[in-house]
Amino acid sequence: MRASPFRPAAATLLAIALAAVGLTSAATPAVAATIPAGSGSYTDVRPAGTSGPTTNTGAPVTPKLTAAARDKPVPTNDWWTSLAYQRYGDNPYSTPMYGHPLTYQAKASGLEVGYPTTPAIVGDGRQYEYAHKADLTVGLTGLNSPDTKADAWSDWTVTPYWADGTRTFRATIGHGMPFVYAKGSGGDARVTTASAPTVFADDGNVLGITVAGHHYALFAPTGADWNVSGTTITAALAGKDYFSLAVLPSTDALATYRTYAFSFVTGSRVTWQSVGADVRATYTLTTEAKEGTERGTLQALYRHQWLHTTDALTPYTYVSPRGTMKVRASASFTTSQRSSGVVPALPASDGIDRARLGAYLDEVANASDPFSGASDTYWTGKALGRLAQLVPVADQIGRTATRDKLLGLMKGRLQEWLTAGGASGFAYDGDWKTLTGYPASYGSDTELNDHHFHYGYYVYAAAIVAQYDQAWAADSAWGTMVKHLIRDTANPSRTDAAYPFLRGFDVYAGHSWASGHQGFAAGNNQESSSESTNLSAALVLWGAATGDTSLRDLGSYLLTTESEAITQYWFDANEQVFPASYRYGTVGMVWGSGAAYSTWWTANPEEIHGINVLPVTGGSLHLAREKAAITRNIAEMERENGGPAQEWRDLLWEFEALAAPASAKAKWDAVNGNYTPEQGESRAHTYHWIGTLDTLGAPDTTVGADLPTAAVFTRNGVRTYTAHNHGSTARTVTFTDGRTLAVAARSTATATGPGGQDPDPPEPGPSTGNTFRLKTGGVLTTATTDPAGADTLASADGVNRDGTPYRPTVYEARQVNGKPAAGAATAFRLRVDAGTRVGLAPQVRVSYDLTGDGTFERTETFRYFATDPLAGWEEYTQAVGAQATTGSLGELRNGTVRLEVWNALGNGTSQLQTGTDAAVLRIPYV
């Protein structure tokens, strides 16, 4: 082992990176065993007797990179990481990689490509998978490479590299990309198919083939010609070094895909920002025109993305393990979601017996071993998290001595871990650009697993400490080491030479991955999605407590994005993702190829359901968005368990309380505290959580706020608003239903009903927020529990009704309150279907009656949408453009919002979907 993993140049880059992210410790020396970081430190030498990344046989392993990528931090824990991490010594290429819609596996002759469309139910019925199966292999004639290396990568794309001494080959692939962009030298383009292909189009350099029921297009440079011989297809490249292929949603899509065949993707990048109560993210591909001038491309959006975009989508779709993917013809798209609020603790309520809560707090604070014997990174983290939840609770009821004792315990243990040289601490690996805690656990050292799970607890605990002791969190004290943990797990910088960008979080998939090496036939996996969001919530609180709004907003982006992914892919809340043949309604683990009703260590239903709940914190409130899914989840757990939970009953009570607080309270009351808490939980926290929600009501996620550390609860129609202000000056928090709440510096404020500082606020109406679903019966609603349906749009009776509503289907929301949002505009996403009728044209008008007096001060008429004569839903959005507008927007005070939809042309009826997230109107108000 070298004394230091840093070469002098790398050390210089590290020092620059430290300064760039505000870490103010002295420059890292070129050779050192211990590197100071404020009051803390870490080492660049692993403790004696420990190991870093290894193969499955225990042999040390270094990243498998080309010379061009050698000094770039490797994004382990990604969907394609097996290209760089050779976990299995006899496989120098890769394991299957699930990009969706395409799947890939590297081999000596090039890149296997597949498009699995039929799920298999395996593992005693507990797992569904769309396993990789090669339809074809793309490469060069004669290519026989001894290995495959990672050559370049960006936020969700990667370029593997092959070389055999005569030939070199690269293929750029990515999430949501129906294309493979290939470049090579030393041989002709070669595609070998798994079975004899059927040719459905042949235009020299453009070839359409069908293999195993899937349609592909092959694109060679102009002047080239594809030749088919059995299962081998070749093309000389006419003096060029590039070609591409695409999986087609249908054979008639060939012309569209041909348009973008030579617009080669060269990179991918996500940007995010918090805008009022929302998080907006833009996903952009950079491209290079190999021929012609086209710079656009096609992207397939996952369900968690297309549910939250108003950008125009094509009619094309793909099958994936995450449900239907929808195609956009553009190099970028933007999503907008209501931000998931994070609070340090649930607010005070009169449903809590303070004496009883105090006794439960003492039970923890005065325990002989408050850390329950925890020694490794994971179990120490859980113990820290357990204490962190109790600090603001103790403070809330005036138990300041208990609060300070808990803070002292947390500081002491954190400082032990954040200082090198003791029995526990962190070591930096310069080959893998990672910081590993020792004693390690669950492969966090040898496989680089789970860093986001483990370190999220430390960052969360540090955030709670920072809330009460800002000096402790200063960079000159312990903040620098906390930032190292953040940079290892959720680094927002793409130029940091010491750590990769967002190590565990897959920005396009919408969630994190747990395996550091991705060395499985099923791809990568993540079990405990809730421990992933625990890190995101920790970033919100740490950023807020230390005044780092960029880290706070990063946490909001990660939490809000992963919340939707969890909702769809772990809990199947809309029942649109899991295959119809799969009998479970929730899963414990998501894999690249599918998902499984299981955990890594047990088949106990309580833990299968609970592993995606723990730890329960003020960052768990996002789970309350789909209350019907929680109810189904608990019912399934009890059905599979043969009765109510016993082992993890506290976690599952707390989960149930997010949807049905009274039911959870009854279960707590039935045992009256006589149970054994889950190891990361305590009676004090569970009692406070369940009692508070029973009193205030379940979280109301339809209402957001312009501060990410705020939340709303509703019981019997009465709302309770709470917010914590970490700042040094008082501020007013504005909620999306128009309420305001004055919050003093470094404190929490709570108000019920009208609340806030508005002297005469309007009473809340039935519709709140700025996004409304269409509900059959003429209603616009913020509710998300109504069943899907459809309304009929009347015929235009053969007369041109363009611009003038004719027998429209009308939807209204009344008693709406809100203020215009700067820079926002009316948006809608509708699904319409004209069946096989020709020449129909649904059209939309949106009108605003600002005071509810019957006079509409503002109307916006949009251009009609020309439907196709094919049965099936089509997407109609505001992207068609406005045809006419009258009047001006102003503040809505008990106002009315009206949506009218009618057929502007034709002689037949059409259908309009209702009751889904694809039948929504978003108004430009906060």
Sign, Cα dihedral of 324, 329, 330, 336: negative
Q: What is the DSSP string of 739-774?
A: -EEEE-TTEEEEEETT-SS-SSPPPP-S--SSEEEE
Residue 159 CA: distances (Å) to CA of 147, 156, 162, 176, 515? 14, 11, 10, 15, 20
- Assess contact for 42 and 478: CB atoms under 8 A: no
Q: Is 917 a catalytic residue?
A: no
Closest-CA residue to 314 (of 914, 782, 901, 879) = 879
Q: At what angle do helices 400-417 and 451-468 cross, to 10 degrees?
A: 140
Residue with tokens 């249908």: 250
- Assess contact for 35 and 435: CB atoms under 8 A: no
- Assess contact for 82 and 61: CB atoms under 8 A: no
Report, in this order, helix, strand and coil percent for the chain, each rounded to 5. Answer: 25, 30, 50
Read off the tokens for 741: 């709440």
* Coil/strand/helix, residue 677: coil
Burial class (CB in 10 A: 0-12, 13-18, 19+), 258: middle
- Assess contact for 179 and 262: CB atoms under 8 A: no
Read off the tokens for 224: 């080239």
Q: Please state, in angstroms and rounded to a whole number, the distance separating the CA atoms of residues 44 and 38.
A: 16
Q: Please state, in angstroms and rounded to a whole number, the distance separating the CA atoms of residues 75 and 87.
A: 15
**What are residue 65's DSSP bridge partners?**
150
HSE-CB at 491 with a 13 A cutoff on CA atoms is 28
- Assess contact for 296 and 263: CB atoms under 8 A: yes
Phi-psi category of residue 582: left, alpha or beta, with phi > 0 → left and psi -120 to 50 → alpha: beta
Burial class (CB in 10 A: 0-12, 13-18, 19+), 529: buried
Q: Please state, in angstroms and rounded to a whole number, the distance separating the CA atoms of residues 411 and 119.
A: 49
Q: Please state, in angstroms and rounded to a whole number, the distance separating the CA atoms of residues 810 and 183.
A: 54
Phi-psi category of residue 373: left, alpha or beta, with phi > 0 → left and psi -120 to 50 → alpha: left
Read off the tokens for 601: 């260590």
Read off the tokens for 89: 């010594």
Residue with tokens 């997230």: 917
Q: Which of 155, 429, 450, 875 is catalytic?
A: 450
Q: Please state, in angstroms and rounded to a whole number, the distance separating the CA atoms of residues 34 and 103.
A: 43
Q: Please state, in angstroms and rounded to a whole number, the distance separating the CA atoms of residues 387 and 165.
A: 59
Q: Is 626 a catalytic residue?
A: no
Residue with tokens 């043969």: 642
- Assess contact for 522 and 171: CB atoms under 8 A: no
**What are residue 725's DSSP bridge partners?**
747
* Coil/strand/helix, residue 541: helix
Please give the span between the terminal C-alpha atoms of the chain, in angstroms, as a whole number: 58
Residue 394 CA: distances (Å) to CA of 383, 387, 403, 464, 688? 17, 11, 5, 12, 10
Residue with tokens 């070129």: 30
Q: Which of 44, 155, 278, 531 is catalytic?
A: 531
Q: Which of 44, 311, 506, 527 is catalytic?
A: 527
Burial class (CB in 10 A: 0-12, 13-18, 19+), 876: buried
Q: Please state, in angstroms and rounded to a whole number, the distance separating the CA atoms of residues 590 and 577.
A: 12
Read off the tokens for 85: 């991490």
Q: Is 812 a catalytic residue?
A: no
Just list the catalytic residues: 450, 527, 531
